[in-house]
Structure formats: C-alpha cells, structure tokens
C-alpha cells in the first residue's frame, strides 16, 4: 500500500498546482461557497468559456478602484480570441471582476446581497482584496457584447461594470 501513496500524490500534484495558480487568493470573503452555481442556470456559451492559458492571444490589464470603475470599461476582442485579463485592485476595499450576461450578473448580484459572505470559485470571476493582482483567462467564442461587473453589494449599482465587444 505504501508504494501507491507517493504515486497518487505525484499524479495529483500538477492538478493541484494548476488549480491554485488560477486563483488569486482573494476568495476569503466568508464561510459560504457558491459551489456549482451556474450564473442563474443559463448556458455560458453566449458569453464565452474558460480559456486555456496555453492559448492566450494577448493580455489586457484591467484596474479596479474605489471610484467603482473598471479601467478600461470597454474592451474590444475578436471572436475566438483567448484573453488573459491581468486584473489589479488599486483600491482600499475588495473588488471583483465577473464575466457574464447582464441578466445573469444582475441575478448573481441579488444573491450576493442576500449572502454577502459568499465565496467565489467560478472560472468567470476573480475577487481581489486591496492591492492584490490576479489573472483570469477567458475565450470569447462568438460575436456580440459580453458584460462584466463587480458583484460586491452596491458596487455594480454604483457603476462598476463594463463591456467586451466581440467582433
């Protein structure tokens, strides 16, 4: 039995390292977890899908700040393009970037108002504490407009939202 333990540990190590590398450590907002939340039960195909880090075409820096704004708030990408968003929270309070349809973002924001300690573990979002930086890789697979917002209660309502135009 002892021979199998190291093999299993080595087999799991790359997956654990990859999973830890995809998150920024900004997931400590409280004791609730979203689990398998699917952004309001809708398919994500209209907004894209988690991207393969090995296929990133370019990196776009996005800054979040306490004026409740994203910079830039409008981003242009090509259909099929995989983007690495290098996200920085330059503010003094937590912020997040969540990619989705406007309807799903609003529904999720309502859930966050009901459960403000909710933790995020979805590939379409990143939560960062003050001064933190992190990455989010997303593939925009069809033309249209995709929204993003900060769903911390009150932030989206204060104007912390943006759009990705997919051509």
Q: What is the pLDDT of residues 90-129, one digit of tens each?
A: 999 999 999 999 999 999 888 888 876 766 668 999 999 9
- 25-166 fold: Immunoglobulin-like (2.60.40)
Binning pLDDT at 50, 70 and 90, where does residue 52 land?
very high
Which DSSP symbol is given to 3? T
Sorted by sequence, the CB contacts under 8 Å of residue 14 that are 6+ apart come out as none
> pTM for this structure?
0.73
Give the model's pLDDT for residue 16. 30
Give the model's pLDDT for residue 1. 45
Position 44 pLDDT exceeds 70: no
Average pLDDT of the residues in 30-49? 50
- Mean pLDDT score of the chain: 79
CA distance 17 to 96: 23
Q: Say what percent of the chain tops pLDDT 70.
A: 69
The answer to whether the beta carbons of residues 143 and 79 sit under 8 Å apart is: yes
């Amino acid at each position: 039995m002892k021979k199998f333990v190291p093999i299993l540990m080595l087999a799991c190590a790359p997956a654990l390292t990859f999973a830890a590398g995809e998150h920024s450590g900004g997931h400590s907002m409280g004791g609730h977890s979203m689990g398998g939340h699917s952004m309001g039960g809708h398919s994500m195909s209209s907004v894209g899908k988690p991207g393969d880090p090995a296929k990133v075409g370019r990196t776009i820096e996005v800054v979040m700040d306490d004026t409740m704004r994203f910079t830039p708030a409008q981003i242009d990408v090509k259909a099929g393009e995989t983007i690495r968003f290098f996200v920085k929270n330059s503010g003094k309070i937590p912020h997040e970037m969540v990619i989705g349809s406007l309807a799903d973002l609003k529904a999720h924001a309502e859930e966050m108002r009901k459960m403000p300690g909710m933790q995020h573990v979805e590939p379409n979002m990143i939560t960062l504490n003050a001064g933190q930086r992190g990455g989010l890789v997303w593939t925009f697979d069809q033309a249209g407009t995709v929204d993003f917002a900060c769903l911390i209660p009150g932030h989206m309502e204060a104007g912390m939202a943006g759009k990705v135009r997919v051509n």
